[in-house]
Amino acid sequence: MATCGFEVRSAEQGRELKLAMQRLWLTGQVMPVGARLLVRHVFCNGEEQALEAVYSFMLPRDAALRRFEVEGEGFEAHSELRRVEEAVKVYEEGIEAGHLATLARAYRDGVVNLTLGNLRKGEQVTVTLEVLAGVELHDDGLRFRFPFALAPGYHPKARAAGGEIELPEQEFGDVILPKYMREADGLHDVGFDLALRIPGAVAEIGSPSHAVRVREENGARRVTLAPAADLPNRDVVIDVKFAEPTTQILGGAKRFAMAVPSTRFGQSASGRRKVAMVIDRSGSMRGQPMTQAVRAVEACLGALSKDDEFALVAFDDRIEMFRDMLVPATSESRDAARSFLQGIGARGGTELARGFSAGARLAAGGDVLVITDGQVMGTEEILAKARALNVRIHCLGIGSASQDRFLALLASATGGVSRFVTPQERVDVTAVDLFASIGRPVAVDVRASGAKFETQPPAAVFAGTPWVAFGSASGPAAVRVEWNSGNFTEAIPTDQPEAAETLRLLDGARQIADLESRMTPGAEKEIEPKLVEISETFGLASRAMALVAVVKRAGDQAGAPPVTRIVPVGMPQGTQFESYFRPAARMAMSDSIAPAGVRYALASVVRREVPARPPDDTDRLLEIAANVAPDGGVAGSDIEDRTLKTVSALLLFLAEGHTTTEGAFRLHVERMVRFLESLSGLSRAHEEIIGRVVAFARAGRKPGRRTLRSWKDIENAVA
């Protein structure tokens, strides 16, 4: 008989609750175009009666469940894929008969309920789920993110109190959400051991979320949690940096995936930009995310020329706009915009659709950049509203617990791109980098031929984000890719058959995620038959098809229903309990969003408040970027002062690795170079020095780091 070790004291009832779930362990392999994962859940009944344990979790981006395995003392069983109604009936009949029954069912917003019923006293059972998931792919690397935590989400009709969220059943069905504890200490522990299957050379592997250990094993790099276990209060995030951007083709003729770096399509075209920057100011953004979001927008304004137009929108459950129209990016309008930004503080609920809709009305035909933690529910309706708009929506998500799935869908549904950062990372720099990539695609009207593509590849390519396509062919194939200003052809290799099945499943998961995102309450009858067909074709679960297994054990007795225990979860790292729950009686969630407070540093066991970060070179770069004038020069008292400041600033950016084509501040560097190239009437000596500086910048060279207060200092720096 197993010993169940984890307990947590219930403050409301003043007693210890035996926790039904003891451990969660993630394994599997991560590739440039997705991940095939096994998630092991260990359940143990430490109570006197039979239990039904319910664990709720969030799917990662582009994800679907394939199957599960149930193991216990003397038995092993595998799941069956059935229509939801059939699966629920099989599960309930198994429970009534006293058998061990397991059900994995997906609901709206990518929430899954994993239910294990008739767990006997002292019995330990392991449920291992197979999950197909996507990754955030960049030209120079990838980011893999898996939800170890489930954040509370805002919905205008939800009610929240005492750590519990109640959703309207007519819209969300019988989904079960967990009870939120103030802390994750004492809950189930988590860990991971992942294989990285990355063709080509890798420059760096790391994690902004956890302490990791990297090792070589059987020709693959493995990334493991460095401590034995950790708290389930934040997602695991793994970053892989490629040695150089290269075209990657995985699989073979029957099933393949292509990832082509954006640099192969050329450079971004010049032209006027129309962009609306939309800032989430809801209560959960309070603190460092709000501060960095404002600083990021100020720096983004410095990347605009006087011919560009911009709008600013701040939203919670109300909308505030800088102006009710696009305005030219003149010095006067940018100064006024800074004053508007300084008046933004966190408050209220996350009415995300209202925020980006306001931005879309202002930037019709242009681009919308949304900076948000994305903690919302009812995402299908939000996505439907986004698809009806004539704009590209680009998303920068912030948080310890993932809404990566939703924000990736929001971006891809409108032809945009998305990024997601943890609270331990710099939101401001990532936002500036994303802003530099959007607005002017490097390629539009992208078309692919020579193979079969179930899902159409992206029609636009943005700097820094590869073009990805999943396809198949009956024999040797060559894929031809064409766009508005060029073309290339790639032969599909036939020597990687071992990857074909994984790529087929990843393609199916992407199709299911897209269909589910369109399954609004009024569209179920239209979408469900298509979802059933794709689920059956690929053997993957969805909102229309669930996974179920029933195990008949010796001694099973009918007629004794188990007591239900919902696995509790802790508040995500850096999110204060009072951000969502007040101690008062039940109230509308729109009234229960209080300011979020304390941010926490990474720790395996001890949570500690992050001290204020002292200013560094990046803060200086952001300050300079915000002061780049519409003509590309740094603000100053006269042309000579401006020229000296611009040259000094340019060398500082170059010293930190930002060039005209690389780095988060590449737009600012390009604009400063053009400003210097446009100058005339300077002394011959200064013209020679500026010529050297411009040559340095165009070549992407890195000057020595030194104080630059005079023309002599600058001359020495580029000597």
- Residue 220, domain member (yes or no): yes
Number of structural domains the chain divides into: 4
Q: In the predicted model, is pLDDT for residue 309 greater than 90?
A: yes
Same domain (yes/no): 360, 484:
no
Average pLDDT over every residue of 618-643: 92
- Is residue 603 in some structural domain? no
Tell me: do 184 and 327 sit in the same domain. no
More confident residue, 328 or 582: 328
Find the length of the chain.
719
Strand ranges inside 107-183, DSSP E: 111-119, 124-133, 136-138, 141-146, 159-161, 164-166, 180-181
Judge if 282 and 338 occupy the same domain: yes
Question: Do 586 and 624 reside in the same domain of the chain?
Answer: no
End-to-end CA distance of the chain: 76
3-state SS class at 34:
strand
Same-domain pairing of 336 and 476? no
DSSP 243-300: SS---EEEE-SSSEEEEE-GGGG--PPP---EEEEEEE-SGGGTTHHHHHHHHHHHHH
What predicted TM-score, i.e. pTM, was given to this entire model? 0.90
CATH of residue 573's domain is 2.60.40
Say whether both 176 and 235 belong to one domain.
yes
Measured CA to CA, the distance from residue 563 to residue 46 in angstroms comes to 13
For the cut 80, the answer to whether the pLDDT of residue 5 exceeds it is no
Q: What are phi and psi of 120, to 5 degrees?
A: -75, 165
Q: Among residues 171, 662, 137, 146, which one has the least CA distance to residue 412?
A: 137
The residue among 406, 437, 468 that closes a domain is 437
Of these ranges, 122-136, 171-185, 402-416, the one predicted with the greatest mean pLDDT is 122-136
Q: What is the pLDDT of residues 332-364, one digit of tens each?
A: 999 999 999 999 988 888 899 999 999 999 998
127 and 94 belong to one structural domain: yes
In angstroms, what is the C-alpha Rg of the chain? 27
Bigger pLDDT: 355 or 703? 355
The answer to whether the CB of 273 falls within 8 A of the CB of 367 is yes
Alpha-carbon gap, residue 151 to 148, rounded angstroms: 10
Is a pLDDT exceeding 70 seen at residue 385?
yes
Cβ neighbours for 384, distance < 8 A, ≥ 6 positions apart: 518, 520
Alpha-carbon distances, residue 160 vs 114, 166, 419, 565 (angstroms): 23, 6, 29, 19
pLDDT digits (tens, 9 = 90+) for 190-218: 999 999 999 888 999 999 999 999 999 88
My answer on whether 430 and 376 are in the same domain is: yes
Co-location of 415 and 457 in the same domain: no
Is 605 within the bounds of a domain?
no
Residue 660 included in any domain: yes
Listed in sequence order, the residues at least 6 apart from 626 whose beta carbon sits closer than 8 Å to its beta carbon are 295, 298, 299, 301, 302, 338
Task: Specify if 515 maps to a domain.
Answer: no
Band of residue 271 on the pLDDT scale cut at 50, 70, 90: confident
Domain that holds residue 563: 7-242+543-592
Residue whose structure tokens are 């604009």: 671
Q: Average pLDDT, whole number, for the chain?
A: 88
Residue 643 and residue 673 share a domain: yes
Of 232-241, 339-348, 538-547, the range with the lowest mean pLDDT is 339-348
Name the DSSP letter for residue 493.
P
Mean pLDDT in residue range 36-55: 95
Q: Give residue 604's pLDDT.
A: 26
Q: Residue 309 and residue 359: Cα distance in Å, rounded?
A: 13
Return the higher-pLDDT residue of 592 and 329.
329
